[in-house]
Amino acid sequence: MNTPEPFPRQKARTRGFQLGRPRGLKVIGDRVLFIRSSSGIDPAGSLWQLDLTTQPPTEVCLVDAATLLTTGDLPAAERARRERMREVTSGITHFTATKSGTALAFAISGIPYVSVLDPAIRTRELAAPGSVTDPRVSPDGQHVAYVVDGSLWIIDAHDLDAQPQLLCESTSDTETWGLADFIAAEELERLRGYWWLPDGSGLIVERSDDSPVEVRWISDPAKPTSEPVAHRYPAAGEPNPIVELWLVALDGTRTQLTWDLVKFPYLATVAVNEVGSVVSVLSRDQRTVSINQVDLKAGAMTERAVRTDPAWIDIHGELPYLDTDGALIEIIVDAESDTNRITRDGVFISPGGLQINAIVDSSAGGVLAVASPDPMEQHLYRITNDGVTTSLTSGASWNNAVADGDTYALASANSISPRVEFTVVHSSGVHSITSHAQTPNVAIRPNFSTVGASKLRTCVFWPTGHVTGSRKLPVIMSPYGGPHAQMVTHIAGGHASDQWLADQGFAVVVVDGRGTPGRGPAWERLIQADLALGILADQVSALAALGDELPDLDRTRVGIVGWSFGGYLAALAVLERPDIFCCAVAGAPVTEWRLYDTAYTERYLGDPNTAPAAYDQSSLLTRAHKLQRPLLLIHGLADDNVLAAHTLQFSSALLAAGRTHSVLPLSGVTHMTPQEIVAENLLRAEVDFFTTHLQ
C-alpha cells in the first residue's frame, strides 16, 4: 500500500489543489470551452472543449499547451496581472473567444496565438513586437489586440503574413494603454483595460498615467546584485493614477470619452454589448457613482443615472449594463430589506432577503444570477423581469455558474466532499466535466454553528478521531475577518489546511464576524471607520460562546493565525487581548493602514489627511508597546500589495518598545506563496510555533 503524501507537500505541489481543475469556463451554444491541465500536479493549462452535440458529449483538447510552451520570461505587466488575479498556474491561463466560438485568442509565455475552428482547429503564432499581455480576439474574429510594453496593438487574425499595427503608443514608463490600473485590478475587480466594440470596428481603451503616484521600490535583499524594481503604489491619502477612456478606431483615430476626472477619479466598470456601452465612474470617497451611456457616433458619454450611499458603493463585476431592450441592469442596496437586489431601470426585480452576489447571464425576459438565501450557501437562480424567481440549485452547497441562454455550467461544492464538481445543464441532459484535481489527504469534518447575540457563523475542526470529553485541546483561531471574504461556507475543500492543522493536536475555530459578506449591506458596513476593535470583539465573543457550548476547547491555550487581513487581525489579537490569545502567527499583515492602497483603505477609513483618528485606531504601530505574547511575523519581500514595509516598520516599533518577537522573511515571495518548498514549509513552521507555545 502506498503511503499518502504528507498534506503540506501535497497542498504545495497542487498549488492549493487548483491544478487539474477545469477553469475559465465559457458556454457558447452547444459547447463549453475551458482550461485544464493534465493532472493535479501539472501547472500548464491547455484549452479544452466539451461538445454537447455528440452522444455522449465528448471532451476534446483544442490546444495542448505542452506543444507550445517556451522558456521565455513573462512580461512585467503579465506578471502583475496574474498577481492581481492570484493566478498560480502556467500555460494558457486566460483566453477570449468570438461570440460564435469559432476563433480564440490566448498567450503562452508572452507569445500570442489565435486558434480558428472551421471545423478543424488551426492554431498559429501571431507576430508581435515583444512579449504580450492580455490578447483578445475581436467579436467578428478578424483581429486580435494585445498590449506590449504599455502600448496597444492589433493584428489581422487570418493573414499569415500580417504584421501588428500600433494603435495606442505608450510614450513614457508611466503611461499604459489597454491595461487595468493597479487600483482597478486589485480593489475594484476590473482586470481588463480595453473592450472591443460589438462589430469589431474599434475599441474602448483605458489610458493610465501613473506619474502622480509615488514610487515604492521592491527589492530582493537575498540578491544584492539585482536592481530594485520601481513600483508606483497609490497609498492612502496620496495621489492616484490619472485614468482616462478613449474610443479608438482600427486606423488609430481616437476620441476621448470625457467625464469630471477630479470628481470621479476611479474608472469602475465598462460594459459593452450589442445594445450599447455603459461606463461607471466612482468618486474618491466611493459614495457616489456616475453611470454613463456611450454615444459611439458622437464619441461622447451621457450620464444615465447617479447612485449614492452614505458608507460606500459596492462594485459588482461588469455591472451596470444594458439589457436587450435598453433597460439599465444593476445590483443596488435595498436598505428596507437589507439586501443587494437586481434592478431594471431602478425598479427591483429580485426578491428582498435574497442576497444577489453576481449576474451570470442576461437574456430576453430575465437574468441568471448567483445569490445567497443563507450566508453559508450560494445558488443559481433564474429571475424574470416581472420578479418570478426560480432556484436552479439547492441544498447545503456553494455554486458558481457561467451560461449562454438555457445552457449553463456549474461548479458546485459542499461541506461533505472536498472536491468541486463541474456539470453542464443542457437540453440533452446533465453532463459532467472531468476534473483532474487531487483530493486532499485529510478527512475534512466541519462542525458549523451560529452563536451569540450577533448570530456569528462559526466552524470548528477537531482532530480526526477526537472523542468528545476525552481531553481538552489547545485552540487555534483561523480567521480572515475582513471585507470581501467569507470563510464559514459549505465549501469543504477551502478548509483542508484547517483540518490538517487540527489533526496536529488542536481545535481549529473559524469565525465570520462583522464586515464579512453574505449577511447583508448593514452587516458589512459595521466596520466603517473601525477595522480593529469591532472585528476583534466578534472573534472574542464567538470563542467565548463556543467555549460555553464545547468544554473540550481549552480557553487557557488559544492561538490565532491569519494572512493578509487575517494577519492583521492575528497580530491585533495578541496586542489588544493578551488575556485571551497566548500567541499569534501573522502572515503578510497590514500593520499601518496609511501604507495600504487608496481605494480599499479610504473606502472603510476615509482619507487619512482628514480622518487621522480612524487610522490611528486601526494601526498596529501605535500598539507595539502592548505586546506581551509570542508573535511570529511572516512576509514575502517581493510583495507589491501588502508591502514588506508593513512588517519591517512594525518589527522596528516592537524592537523600539523592547518587545521580543520573531520575523520570517520570504525572499522572492509575493503576496501569494506559489513556490512549492516555501508553501510546504510555511505550514510546518506554523505548527512548530503553536506546538511550542500552546502544548
Give residue 326's pLDDT.
94
At residue 670, the pLDDT reads 84
At 400-409, the pLDDT tens digits run: 999 999 999 9
Distance CA 267, CA 289 (A): 10
What is the structure's pLDDT at 33?
A: 97
pLDDT tens, 529-575? Answer: 999 999 999 999 999 999 999 999 999 999 999 999 999 999 999 99
- The answer to which of 77-81, 170-174, 367-371, 406-410 has the lowest mean pLDDT is 77-81
Res 173 pLDDT > 90: yes
Does residue 166 lie in a domain region? no
Is the confidence at residue 629, as pLDDT, over 70?
A: yes
> Does residue 80 have a pLDDT over 70?
no
Q: Which residues contact 57 (CB under 8 A, 6 or more apart)?
A: 50, 51, 424, 426, 428, 431
Which pLDDT belongs to residue 518? 93
- Backbone φ and ψ for 152, nearest 5 degrees, come out as -100, 130
Residue 653 lies in a domain: yes
Could you check whether the bond before residue 56 is cis, i.e. omega within 30 degrees of 0? yes
- Residue predicted with more confidence, 227 or 73: 227
Asked if the structure places residue 369 within a domain, the reply is: no
pLDDT band for position 4 (50/70/90)?
Answer: confident
Q: Per the domain annotation, does 52 fall within a domain?
A: no
Q: How far, CA to CA in Å, does 86 sit from each of 132, 164, 613, 644?
A: 19, 30, 33, 18
Q: What is the DSSP string of 341-359?
A: EEEETTEE-SPTT-EEEEE
Segment 453-477 shows an average pLDDT of 97
Question: Among 511, 284, 502, which Cα is nearest to 375's?
Answer: 511
Q: The domain that contains 661 carries what CATH number?
A: 3.40.50.1820
Quick one: residue 11, left, alpha or beta (phi over 0 = left, psi -120 to 50 = alpha)? Answer: alpha
Predicted local distance difference test score (pLDDT) of residue 163: 96
Looking at the chain, the whole-number percentage of residues with pLDDT higher than 70 is: 96
Predicted confidence (pLDDT) per residue in 343-362, tens digit: 999 999 999 999 999 999 99
Q: What is the DSSP letter of 118?
A: S
Q: Is 502 contained in some domain? A: yes
Q: Indicate whether 248 pLDDT > 80.
A: yes
pLDDT reading at 659 higher than 80: yes
pLDDT for position 84? 59
Domain annotation covers residue 235: no
User: What is the pLDDT at residue 74?
Assistant: 63
What rounded mean pLDDT belongs to the chain? 94
Assess if residue 422 is contained within a domain.
no
Domain count, the chain: 1
How many Å apart are CA 212 and CA 37, to the nearest integer? Answer: 42
Nine cell digits for residue 156: 489581422
Q: What is the pLDDT of residue 77?
A: 67
pLDDT at 676: 74
Domain that holds residue 573: 447-694
Average the pLDDT over 105-122 and give the result. Answer: 90
pLDDT of residue 674: 63
The whole-number average pLDDT for the span 139-147 is 97
pLDDT at 363: 79
Query: Does any domain span residue 249?
Result: no
The three cell numbers of residue 95 are 483566453
Number of H helices, E strands in the chain: 11, 44
Q: How many CA atoms lie within 13 A of 542 on its CB side?
A: 29
What residues form DSSP beta bridges with 81? none
Q: How far is CA 413 from the centre of its chain?
A: 18
pLDDT digits (tens, 9 = 90+) for 211-235: 999 999 998 888 889 899 999 999 9
Among the residue ranges 269-283, 412-426, 529-543, 658-672, the one predicted with the least confidence is 658-672
